[in-house]
Amino acid sequence: MRSESDGLTVTGLPEGIVGAAQLSALEFRVDTRGHDAKQLRLELDGAPVTGTVDGDAVVFRPGPLADGEHRFGAEIPRGGPSGWLRPGPASVETFTVDTAAPLVELAPTAPVRSYREPVTVRGRIIGAQRASIGSEPVPLAPDGTFDITLPRAPVRAELVALDAAGNSTTVPLAAAAAVPRIRAVHVTAHAWSHEGLREDVLELARSGRIDTVQLDIKDEDGVVGYDSQVPLARESGAVEAIYDAPSALRVLHDMGLRVVGRIVAFRDPAVAEWAWHAGRPDWVIQNPGGQPYSSKYGPIAFTNFAHPEIRRYNIDLAVEAARLGFDEIMYDYIRRPDGPESSMVFPGATVDAAVSIADFLGDSRGPVHDAGAFQSAAVFGIASTRPQQIAQDIPLMARQVDYVAPMLYPSHWNAGEYGVADPNGQPYDIIFRSLDDFRRQTEGTGAKVVPWLQDFSLGVNYGPAEVQAQIDACAAAGIDSYFLWSPNVRYHL
C-alpha cells in the first residue's frame, strides 16, 4: 500500500490484518526526495522509532508487535522544532496485527484395515477462514465444526487451517489406515501351486496359528509367478503363470486372511540378462570395466536401481498386484549387491546409493497406497548398524513405508553381535536385542517394525522351541507381529 502527503511517500503499509508471516517481513519505506532524510521523524503508536537511511528513503522494520491496533506516522519539521509538517490523514496509517493461529480440535479417528476403505475425519476449528486436507477442502460449519469423509485413508496427511490474516495451523493426521497385527508365513509361487504345501499353509490358518500369508509376486530369479500384464514383465519373458493370483486371493480372503505380495526388486536376473542382451546395458549394475557386475547370485543378477525404467517396472508390478487385491506390497532385495561399492557402477546415478533406494520407496508409496495396499521393505539385520554395507539406511527407508521388515535370522549374525556370544544358539537374545535397535532406528518415522524370523536349520537345528523363542522375544520387545521364513515352506507353529 502507498500513502502520499506534502512530498512524503510511504510504501509498505499493510492492507487488511497483518498475520505472523506478514509481520516478520513488514517494512515501511518513506521516500524523502526533496527533503533531508536525516530530519525525518518516525513514530509507532505515539513513540519515536528509528529507521535506516537507504539512498533517498528511510526504511523502518517494526519487528515483533503485540496483537491489536497500531499506528505508524512520518513527519519532517518545518521552521524549527515547533513547526511540524504532518502527513495527511491517508499517510498516518492504522493497521491491525493478529498472529494467533486457528485452534484445531480433532476427534479420534477409527483406524481402518486398508487404504481402500473410506475414513471420516471430525472435529472443530476455531478462528479459521478455511481448511483443507491435502487438496480436499474441509467444509466448516458456522461454529467451526466439520465432518468430512475421505475416499481413502490418508497417509501422513495433514489438516491445514488458515485464518483471514494468513496464520495457519497444521495438524498431522495419524495414519487412519493402521497395519493390523501380522502373524505370517512365506509362501513361494511354486509352493502355492503345490496342493500339499498349500494345504499345510491353509491348515495353519484354520487352526488360528497365522492370520496372514506372504505370497511371492516376483522372486529371486526375477520370475513373476502369475499372469502379469505389466508390459516389461511380458516382453522380457519374466512371466510364468505358476499360480492364479485372483483365485489365490479369493481363497485367502474368504478365510479372513490378509495377503502380502513380495517383490524381489533389484535382484532380478530375468530382466537384467534380457536388458543386457537387448542393448540396454544401463539397466544393469556394472563393474568399472563396463561389464555386468558379477556376484554370488550370478554373472548378471542385479538391475540398476537408479534407472527410471527399472524403478517403474517394480512399481508397475506393485500397483498391478495391489489392484488385484494384495493387501500389502513388500519389497525385498531393495539394495545394492554385496561387496565394495567401489567395484560397482550405477549408470545414471546422481545421489548416494542409499538415498536413491530410499527415494525409490518414496516414488512407490503414493501409487501403492492409491491402489489400496500398504507398503513395506525387507531389510538386512546388519543395516541398522552398517547402513552403507548394502545401501540400506533404515531411518531414510522407514519414512517411506508403513513398516520395516528386518531379517533377523539368528544364523546370519556373527558371534558377539549385540553382545550375544552365539546368536544361532541364542535365538531369544539376538532377536530381542536387535529389535530394540530397529525400534530406535525407526522412532519418529511413523513406520512399524515387523521382523522376519527363522524357521529353517543352518548350523543349529531349528524346531518349535527355537521358533517360539523368537516369537517370545518379539512379544518381550513390545512387537506383536512377525513373518516366518522357511525356504521349503514347512513351518513349526
pLDDT tens sequence for the chain (493 residues)? 445 545 567 888 777 899 998 999 999 998 887 777 777 888 999 899 999 988 888 999 999 999 999 998 888 776 544 444 444 333 577 889 999 999 999 998 877 778 888 889 999 999 999 999 988 999 999 999 999 998 887 766 789 999 999 999 999 886 667 889 999 999 999 999 999 999 999 999 999 999 999 999 999 999 999 999 999 999 999 999 999 999 999 999 999 999 999 999 999 999 999 999 999 999 999 999 999 999 999 999 999 999 999 999 999 999 999 999 999 999 999 999 999 999 999 999 999 999 999 999 999 999 999 899 999 999 999 998 998 999 999 999 999 999 999 999 999 999 999 999 999 999 999 999 999 999 999 999 989 999 999 999 999 999 999 999 999 999 999 999 999 999 999 999 9
Could you say which architecture CATH assigns to the domain 183-485? Alpha-Beta Barrel (3.20)
C-alpha–C-alpha distance, residues 371 and 315, integer Å: 11
2-97: CATH class:
mainly beta
C-alpha–C-alpha distance, residues 309 and 307, integer Å: 6
Strands (E), 62-202: 68-77, 84-85, 93-97, 103-106, 119-126, 130-133, 136-137, 145-150, 158-162, 168-172, 183-187
Residue 267 has a CB neighbour count (10 Å cut-off) of: 22
User: What residues form DSSP beta bridges with 159?
Assistant: 133, 171
Backbone angles phi, psi at 235, to 5 degrees: -65, -35
Which of 182, 199, 187, 331 has the alpha carbon at shortest distance from 258?
182
Contact (Cβ atoms closer than 8 angstroms) between residue 324 and residue 246: yes
Q: How many CA atoms lie within 13 A of 158 on its CB side?
A: 8
Residue 90, pLDDT score: 37
Burial 326-356 (b: 16+ CB within 10 A, else e): bbbbbbbbbbbbeeebeebbbeebeeebbeb
For the chain, residues classed under CATH 3.20.20.80 are: 183-485
Strands (E), 127-253: 130-133, 136-137, 145-150, 158-162, 168-172, 183-187, 212-218
Residue 134, pLDDT score: 85
Contact (Cβ atoms closer than 8 angstroms) between residue 2 and residue 9: yes
Please tell me the CATH code under which domain 103-172 is placed. 2.60.40.10
Residue 175, pLDDT score: 64
The helix (run of H) or strand (run of E) holding residue 484 is strand 482-485
For the chain, residues classed under CATH 2.60.40.10 are: 103-172
pTM: 0.77
Please report, in angstroms and rounded to a whole number, the separation of the first and last CA atoms in the chain: 75
- Tell me the three cell numbers of residue 94: 492504522
Work out whether strand 136-137 and strand 482-485 pair parallel, antiparallel, or are unpaired: unpaired
Residue 445 has a CB neighbour count (10 Å cut-off) of: 17
